[in-house]
């Protein structure tokens, strides 16, 4: 690449969108080669081991090429897109060079045929080579400028034009010498111009990366496709057109529907006994983290069943409170507040284990994690400094956290630095569970389904709102007494939410 080309084309590398991440999968491209982009415009969405993240481009210009197709896992630091930051430079150079080329051709037309032939070759030989992009799976290819110059003679009949110019030059020279040109041999019939694809069939056909991927998926040989795009570029329609005739000429025999498109319930009926699902992205990271946590931190889980009828009444009262207007009020909000108050009463629970230094790191802040199920797997974003938030602020933070997680827009920063977590398995109708600690945290609270159950209240059996809480904690940090007092405090607050005032 020349110095001018290196200044013209800017390459954007896969960034480390999280702390210590080494790779990311390209989920979707929002731009294609030829599209104009501006500084700060989102060009693609990638999924790391922690979240899906949109990447903005830091340049203004025109997309030159996309180095990797969608679905490819790319190492951090690899170039994923190239942008032409001076798209007008090539057209200006071409327009400035056109008159000179025409004048040169006119002068050479009066010279000997050999000189004309040499002159006709000079533009292709002297033209500077453009950058040679490396496309995944295809190796290094010549720049589009040089390739199109070689392709043009086949479609435009350049050899015929050169012979005509040579004959005209001979005729002019004969007239200047005072005699008519000698009779020439009968003209040799010239075959009609053949499509450009025939001239380049031995070379790599011109097509953008998405079109190549489409052709690969459909099993189409690009060398057999007739291009209709500008400058002989194969388009998506060309690929589909190449598939259509084959489909009509040889109809496929009746067969079951493709396995991936069939509903899960029908897979057994189709004779499918197993389905393999690649483990990557968030699910892969979660699996590794859970294995590490389960076999590193000694887990202890305790349970308590509690009557939370008063808490449910408080939730209904808060929904009609003017200070809580527009906020999402649910039992999880009160449970989160109860946990924060219990942490204040039992600060030893909010800690982490430093294996290298063999120290317990006491946290004087609470980054409250909320486990959220998303289409890409379970993630645990956290509310920073939740201990310092008022009830309305906590309600707003919870609502935003859940909304962002469902949209798949949670950032890696939002999932880092958690100190203690709540997982609400009750939304699935589950009574309780033995949750595994989020790595680096000391405790996790599982909240079960809230159900009407017979309960002894004031000496009588009544139908009350009851739930079961399950607390898992790291026994290196939290012993049985501390863990039990912490869980009992949460239950006591939910049983009588007035303690939020007296204890908080």
Q: Choose among 81, 95, 4: nearest CA to 43.
A: 81
Size of the chain, expressed as the number of residues it contains: 504
Instruction: Report DSSP state, residue 425.
Output: G
Which ranges of 65-195 does DSSP label H, i.e. alpha helix? 88-109, 113-126, 144-156, 158-176
Do residues 33 and 82 touch, judged by C-beta distance below 8 A? Answer: no
DSSP code of residue 359:
E
CA angle 304, 310, 312 (to 5 degrees): 90
Name the residue with tokens 């991927």.
213
Closest by CA to 398, choosing from 414, 377, 413, 374, is 414
**In this structure, are strands 9-13 and 134-135 parallel, antiparallel, or unpaired?**
unpaired
The answer to whether residues 287 and 294 touch, using CB atoms and an 8 Å cutoff, is: no
> Tokens at residue 59, please?
């340049």
Between CA 426 and CA 467 the distance in angstroms is 9
Question: Helix (H, G, I), strand (E, B), or coil: what is residue 63?
Answer: strand
Task: Please answer whether residues 412 and 50 qualify as being in contact, where contact means their C-beta atoms are separated by less than 8 angstroms.
Answer: yes
How far is Cα 148 from Cα 150, in angstroms, rounded to an integer?
Answer: 5
Task: Quote the CA–CA distance of 391 and 347 in Å, as a whole number.
Answer: 20
Distance CA 95, CA 13 (A): 33
- Cβ proximity of 387 and 365 under 8 Å: yes
CB 159 within 8 A of CB 92: no
For the question of residue 475 being annotated catalytic, the response is yes
Q: For residue 393, what is the enclosing H or E element?
A: helix 391-406
For the beta carbon of residue 276, count every other beta carbon within 10 angstroms: 5
Tell me whether residue 473 is exposed, middle or buried, using C-beta atoms within 10 angstroms of its C-beta: 0 to 12, 13 to 18, 19 or more: buried
According to DSSP, the β-strands at 420-424 and 443-447 are: parallel
Enzyme catalytic residues: 475
């Amino acid at each position: 690449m020349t110095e001018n080309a290196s200044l013209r084309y800017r390459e954007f590398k896969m960034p480390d969108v999280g702390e210590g991440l080494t790779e990311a999968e390209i989920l979707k491209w929002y731009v294609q080669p030829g599209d104009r982009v501006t500084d700060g415009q989102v060009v693609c969405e990638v999924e790391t081991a922690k979240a899906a993240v949109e990447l903005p481009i830091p340049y203004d210009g025109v997309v030159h090429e996309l180095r990797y197709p969608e679905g490819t896992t790319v190492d951090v630091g690899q170039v994923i897109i190239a942008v032409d930051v001076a798209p007008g430079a090539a057209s200006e150079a071409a327009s400035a060079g056109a008159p000179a080329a025409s004048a040169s051709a006119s002068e050479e037309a009066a010279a000997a045929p050999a000189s004309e032939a040499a002159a006709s070759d000079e533009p292709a030989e002297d033209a500077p080579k453009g950058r040679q992009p490396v496309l995944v799976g295809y190796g290094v290819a010549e720049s589009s400028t040089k390739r199109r110059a070689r392709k043009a003679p086949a479609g435009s009949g350049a050899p015929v034009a050169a012979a005509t110019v040579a004959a005209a030059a001979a005729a002019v020279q004969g007239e200047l010498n005072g005699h008519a040109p000698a009779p020439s041999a009968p003209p040799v019939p010239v075959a009609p111009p053949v499509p450009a694809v025939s001239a380049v069939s031995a070379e790599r056909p011109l097509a953008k990366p998405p079109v190549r991927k489409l052709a690969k998926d459909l099993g189409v040989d690009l060398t057999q496709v007739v291009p209709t795009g500008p400058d002989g570029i194969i388009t998506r329609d060309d690929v589909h057109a190449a598939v259509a005739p084959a489909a009509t000429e040889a109809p496929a025999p009746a067969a079951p529907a493709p396995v991936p498109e069939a509903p899960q319930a029908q897979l057994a009926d189709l004779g499918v006994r197993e389905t393999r699902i690649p483990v990557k992205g968030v699910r892969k990271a979660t699996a590794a983290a859970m294995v590490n946590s389960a076999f590193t931190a000694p887990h202890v889980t305790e349970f308590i069943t509690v009557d939370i009828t008063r808490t449910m009444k408080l939730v209904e009262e808060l929904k009609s409170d003017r200070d809580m207007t527009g906020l999402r009020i649910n039992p999880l909000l009160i449970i989160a507040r109860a946990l924060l108050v219990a942490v204040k009463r039992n600060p030893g629970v909010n800690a982490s284990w430093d294996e290298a230094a063999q120290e317990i790191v006491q946290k004087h802040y609470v980054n409250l994690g909320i486990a959220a199920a998303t289409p890409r797997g379970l993630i645990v974003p956290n509310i920073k400094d939740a201990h310092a938030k008022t009830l309305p602020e906590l309600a707003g933070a919870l609502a935003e956290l859940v909304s962002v997680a469902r949209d798949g827009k949670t950032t890696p920063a939002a999932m880092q630095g958690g100190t203690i977590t709540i997982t609400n398995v009750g939304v699935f109708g589950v009574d309780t569970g033995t949750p595994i600690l989020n790595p680096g945290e000391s405790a996790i609270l599982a909240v079960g389904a809230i159900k009407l159950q017979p309960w002894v209240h004031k000496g009588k059996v009544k139908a009350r709102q009851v739930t079961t809480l399950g607390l898992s904690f790291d026994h290196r940090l939290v012993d049985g007494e501390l863990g039990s007092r912490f869980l009992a405090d949460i239950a006591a607050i939910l049983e009588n939410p007035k303690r939020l005032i007296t204890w908080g």
